[in-house]
Amino acid sequence: MSILAFILVSAAAIYFFAKRIVSVRRNIFLGREETINDRSSERWAQMTRVALGQSKMVVRPVAGFFHILIYVGFVLINAEVLEIFIDGFTNQHRIFAPFLGAFYDVLISFFELLALGVIIACIVFLARRWGGLKRFKGLEMQGFPTRDAAIILIVEIILMKALFIMDAADMKLSNGEHFFLVSSWFSFWTEWFTPAQLETISHTAWWFHLVGIFAFLNYVPYSKHFHIFMAFPNTWYGSLDPAGKLNNMESVKSEVKMMMDPNANPYAATDAPLARLGAKDVQDLSWKSLMDAYTCTECGRCTSVCPANQTGKKLSPRKIMMDTRDRLEEVGKNIDQHGLEFQDGKSLLGDYISIEEIRACTTCNACVEACPVLINPVNIIVDLRRYLTLEESNIPAEWGMMNTNIQNNGAPWKFPATDRGNWAQNNG
């Protein structure tokens, strides 16, 4: 009975998780094609350093330290979750114990210390978040994003608590055979119950932890917490080029080549419909920008260093990423409900991100440098600017003048090109 229940719960959880992953993958590949598979050894090194090694997290030492507590705890405690799984399949309890002997208690005690670390880190993070740290405020954080953060931290604390309750009950039941370090500090309450009650408590805690993990697994891909998976592919695919390099628009290249080639036949152009220049909606962005959006955990390090944001402009790089994700989710839902061709008349630019926001960017790359998981908000901003400029000719008058001057005089100011070398003549 217990095994059957376990298998049913596990199968359902894994089925829904896999289904969600497939739909996220489809959404990401709604984006524009871009081949990223060069220099793979550098990519593995980058992923190892940045995601596995948390190299950019520790730039801010306090957050970095507590984040590593949660991260290491999460990864290593999964060894205990493996035991919980095998126990579930075999209807055993603590199946590893007989094999490992005394070392089992050492191992579980070690996991308990990690779990304690996770609880402490979660409490610290809750305190930072609701203790007025400016980085976690901001317009884009109102409503779900703040609730989402609270849910994640509180659920993590409860899940760890369930482990301690199970361990303490089992320790008491074992009559001195087992000793688990951290739960022994908090095991006073086991005196109040009979062995049969403790048996029920342990069993309940086991189920609670298991169902909790599955619930968490299925919540994560809808949450900012998705970064725990996405950080890995996103850092693998992250740019290896100097941050200052903006990508070349190949579609423009062929057009410019033709304009500059005196032998080109303007009528030789194909009848194929021209792809949109720049980005108006999420499908026009590179798939990597869409992966960036699913990877963002809304920590706000980007926004806290953005010169535009710090001087009161509307631009917030974090909002750019959150808007991209929200819009992509909406487009995905539309496709699920109405098919691939459905248009809802909305777009990323305009309905989510305003022109004023993207105009304020200085492309200084502070946000790119600050992101612990190699997200690049500048690429999205520039793609949106490209759409406005190339498709709608919607640019500030001053930029229009600048572009005209560049085309006519070879400089953004209105100086004659012939005077360009004058400074060198009267050099004295």
Partner 1 sequence: MTSSITTMAEMAAKGEKPEILFWVGCAGSFDERAQRVSKAFAQILNDCEISFAILGSEEACTGDPAKRAGDEMTFQMQAMMNIQVLDAYEVKKIVTACPHCFNTLKNEYPDLGGNYEVIHHSTLLQQLINEGRIKLKDGGAFKGKKITFHDSCYLGRANGIYEAPRSVLEALDADLFEMKRAKKNGLCCGAGGAQMFKEAEHGTHEINHERMEDVMEIQPDVVAVACPFCMTMLRDGVKQKEQESKIEVLDLAEIVVRQNG
Residues near partner 1, by CB under 8 A: 241-246, 248-249, 252-253, 255-257, 259-260, 277-278, 305, 307-308, 310-315, 356, 359-366, 368-369, 382, 384-390, 395-396, 398-399, 401-403, 406-407, 410-413, 415, 417-421, 423-424, 427-428
| Least distance CB 170 / partner 1 (angstroms) | 49
| Least distance CB 133 / partner 1 (angstroms) | 18
Three-class SS state of 252: helix
User: Judged by CB, which is closer to partner 1: 195, or 396?
Assistant: 396
User: Judged by CB, which is closer to partner 1: 170, or 357?
Assistant: 357
Task: Extract long-range pairs of 354-359: CB within 8 Å, 24+ residues apart.
Answer: 354/314, 355/388, 355/394, 356/313, 356/314, 357/313, 357/314, 357/315, 357/316, 357/319, 357/320, 358/315, 358/320, 358/384, 358/385, 358/388, 359/385, 359/396
User: Judged by CB, which is closer to partner 1: 291, or 388?
Assistant: 388
User: Judged by CB, which is closer to partner 1: 203, or 314?
Assistant: 314
| Least distance CB 421 / partner 1 (angstroms) | 3
| Least distance CB 255 / partner 1 (angstroms) | 7
In Å, the largest CA–CA distance within the chain is: 100
What tokens were used for 109?
A: 């005690």
| Least distance CB 295 / partner 1 (angstroms) | 20
User: Judged by CB, which is closer to partner 1: 90, or 354?
Assistant: 354
Q: Kindly tell me the sign of the dihedral angle through the C-alpha atoms of 111, 117, 118, 123.
A: positive
| Least distance CB 395 / partner 1 (angstroms) | 7
User: Judged by CB, which is closer to partner 1: 114, or 279?
Assistant: 279
Which 8-state DSSP code applies to residue 274?
P
| Least distance CB 29 / partner 1 (angstroms) | 24
| Least distance CB 50 / partner 1 (angstroms) | 14
User: Judged by CB, which is closer to partner 1: 159, or 315?
Assistant: 315
Q: Which residue has the tokens 């955990």?
A: 297
User: Judged by CB, which is closer to partner 1: 185, or 415?
Assistant: 415
φ/ψ of residue 345, rounded to 5: 75, 5
Of the candidates 155, 394, 160, 109, the one whose C-alpha atom is nearest the C-alpha of residue 280 is 394
Which 8-state DSSP code applies to residue 141?
G
What tokens were used for 267?
A: 């009528």
For 365, other C-beta atoms within 10 Å of its C-beta total 15
d(C-alpha 361, C-alpha 342), whole Å: 32
| Least distance CB 234 / partner 1 (angstroms) | 19
d(C-alpha 14, C-alpha 219), whole Å: 12
User: Judged by CB, which is closer to partner 1: 68, or 277?
Assistant: 277
331 contacts: CB under 8 Å, gap ≥ 6 = 27, 30, 281, 282, 283, 344
